[in-house]
Structure 1
């Protein structure tokens, strides 16, 4: 069952990772302008986690005589809120980059997150770096830099140099934040002082996605995105 769940998660992750940038880019190519809306859609599906969480709660209550609704401690709860804010900010940077860059350019620049993950993991959780990991991160990073320097011909018509460069910077900022978030999550797991169960991970993901969605919702309210959507409907 563990292998089946792993395969299912890998398939869903692959579809999302490959399909989401294409759909987002298509939205902007067709005239979409709402970056905060694109950011909001990245985490708005967080309530779906309530289904497995409810099943897990009923199972615990039936078999372990445990009626505890939430497994997270207050300390982990507050740390997760911080992760959610960082995720919301990363999502905005990423959405801005997709709005200004072709998918190929954006995809390769965002791949530099591997370098940031390795760097922050080395500093935060003392991850040992091997020659293979350093070599792969170096090649991916160099590839992204070369593409960024020689991709002037793949800009959209009418896009200014300022917008294009800002898109590169925003995408790189998103990669850096993502590279910071993963080691921070690993650190939280290490400091949790409790069993890292499937239910605990689901609670963690649900909370930080909820916080990221609230972050994006505030941006949409400030940018009047909801009024524009309602007027279209």
Structure 2
């Protein structure tokens, strides 16, 4: 069962990492201009995590109410139950997850800002350089050792990003100035660096927590992170008046109003 869940998780992650940037770019190239909205949609699907959390709680509850194994000397029908909390996360861990969630919200904004100004191939390669930042911060925060494969991947991705930086005029989207392209390039690099810091930071939180690291606890941490990342972007949307502009932007969307909302929903999922 654990291997099956791991495979499903990897498939969903692969689908999200490949389809997500395409859907976001689709929003921008057909008339979408709300960066905060696009950033918030990156984690707005967090309520879907309630389903595995509920399933996990039901499973834990059943295990908690199982009768003890019978013995040859004593026969009993009593069940042993202990207090089972719906939420297993403790307050210090909650605050740590909330802080990481705010960092994730900032990273979402930087990434959306870059995708709005870069072709998808360029932004995807820059984001791939996150591996280098992750390796560096993992070495600093959790003492993760460098390997030959890591060094080779970091070197190749860094060279690729450098080549892209020197060809700003050849792959610049129509209507995007050199200045906008460079700013988009730099913000995407910043997003890559920040997320490269966030991932080892999550690992550090896992190591430092005094609670048993269970599936439910990990899902709760992810839920809180996505919740606060979304709230961070919602505040930005309110300040930027995005909620007022959405109906007008939908009516002017190149692919139609219905498709506009479909694109938003798919971005969130």
TM-score (norm: length of structure 2) = 0.84
The structure number with the bigger radius of gyration is 2
User: Are the equivalent residues in 2 in contact too, given 1:36–1:216 (CA < 8 A)?
Assistant: yes
Higher helix proportion, which one?
1
Partner of 2:223 in structure 1?
A: 206
Q: Distance in 1 between matches of 2:165 and 2:6?
A: 35
User: Are the equivalent residues in 2 in contact too, given 1:53–1:199 (CA < 8 A)?
Assistant: yes
Instruction: Work out which of the residue numbers 110, 120, 137 in structure 1 matches 2:127.
Output: 110
User: Are the equivalent residues in 2 in contact too, given 1:43–1:212 (CA < 8 A)?
Assistant: yes
1:172 aligns with 2:189: yes
User: Are the equivalent residues in 2 in contact too, given 1:96–1:170 (CA < 8 A)?
Assistant: yes
Q: Distance in 1 between matches of 2:95 and 2:8?
A: 30
Partner of 1:99 in structure 2?
A: 116
Root-mean-square deviation (Å): 1.3
The answer for unaligned runs of 5 or more in structure 2 is 65-80, 252-269
Partner of 1:56 in structure 2?
A: 56
Q: Distance in 1 between matches of 2:116 and 2:44?
A: 19
User: Are the equivalent residues in 2 in contact too, given 1:86–1:181 (CA < 8 A)?
Assistant: yes
SS at match of 1:44: coil
1:36 aligns with 2:36: yes
User: Are the equivalent residues in 2 in contact too, given 1:109–1:148 (CA < 8 A)?
Assistant: no
1:132 aligns with 2:149: yes
Q: Which moved more, 1:47-56 or 1:165-174?
A: 47-56
Q: Distance in 1 between matches of 2:121 and 2:99?
A: 31
Partner of 1:79 in structure 2?
A: 96
1:24 aligns with 2:41: no
The answer for unaligned runs of 5 or more in structure 1 is none
Q: Show the 5 A alignment for 1:183-222.
A: 183-222=200-239
Q: Distance in 2 between matches of 1:201 and 1:230?
A: 37
Instruction: Work out which of the residue numbers 169, 191, 194 in structure 2 matches 1:152.
Output: 169
Partner of 1:69 in structure 2?
A: 86
TM-score (norm: length of structure 1) = 0.96
SS at match of 2:211: coil
Query: How many equivalent pairs are there?
Result: 233
Report how far residue 37 of structure 1 moved: 0.7
Q: Distance in 2 between matches of 1:16 and 1:188?
A: 24
Report how far residue 144 of structure 1 moved: 1.4
Q: Distance in 1 between matches of 2:2 and 2:60?
A: 18
Report how far residue 151 of structure 1 moved: 4.0
1:76-135 superposed Cα distances (whole Å, 9 cap, x missing partner): 111111100000000000001100000011011111111100010111111111222112
Report how far residue 44 of structure 1 moved: 0.6
User: Are the equivalent residues in 1 in contact too, given 2:168–2:182 (CA < 8 A)?
Assistant: no
